[in-house]
Amino acid sequence: MTLAPIAVALDAPDLETAARWAALVTPHVGTVKVGLELYLRYGPEVIASIRGASGVRIFLDLKLHDIPNTVAGAVRAVARLKPAILTVHAAGGPAMIRAAVDELPEGRIAAVTVLTSLSEADLERVGLAGPADDAVRRLAALAVGAGARALVCSPREVAAVRAEVGPDVTLITPGVRPAGSDLQDQARVATPERAYADGADLLVIGRPITGAADPGAAAAGIAAALRRAVAAGRKGA
């Protein structure tokens, strides 16, 4: 069975819960995401515990944003953990992004464009000119020009970003919610099927899976629905 292009966000209260969720979902998905809170609480130990014997790909979502020298040092510090993906903020600028890329030759630096929690009104307040999709496209082009091989954008902008950067850049979309799910703190969302159809390569899904009574079953159900949608799309192409 082909693993679904889903990264399960392990936003767990403790290391044991994160490791248990990872064990339940890895038969169905190819990637798990470790966020800032979990990493700061447990450090490198969390990567070893979650990776375990499965060898699942680790998406280390630290969203680094500082001067180039500091970010280079931070990436160097976590590179030994061999994350498949590590995030930085695209707003840190091309020199910062290039410094991160240079320090992670065996993984992908993913540049975060505009957080999916931000609405159009939020963007206006923080001074990002234009609607969200324009800001996202500008930051995407800047990041790819600086060497980023992956981008993080909301599913609402993924089609525009794909048109902007072409087929060779990995597009990662948080803010993915199965139909009928609670939006929680996400402002710009889409279903897994819609995000994938619009050009996403990796879908980040957290609480709709980890908040379920059986996270493994929830992951299996979403993965199966996504595979059916992909197969139907190919037949209709």
DSSP string, 18-81: HHHHHHHHTTTEEEEEEEHHHHHHHTTHHHHHHHTTTT-EEEEEEEE-S-HHHHHHHHHHHHTT
63 is catalytic: yes
Phi-psi region of 87 (alpha: psi -120 to 50; beta: other; left: phi over 0): beta
Spatial separation of the C-alpha atoms in residues 211 and 169, rounded to whole Å: 31
Spatial separation of the C-alpha atoms in residues 177 and 189, rounded to whole Å: 7
Pick the catalytic residue from 33, 63, 82, 235.
63
Q: Is 28 exposed, middle or buried (0-12, 13-18, 19+ CB in 10 A)?
A: buried
Q: Which residues are catalytic?
A: 63
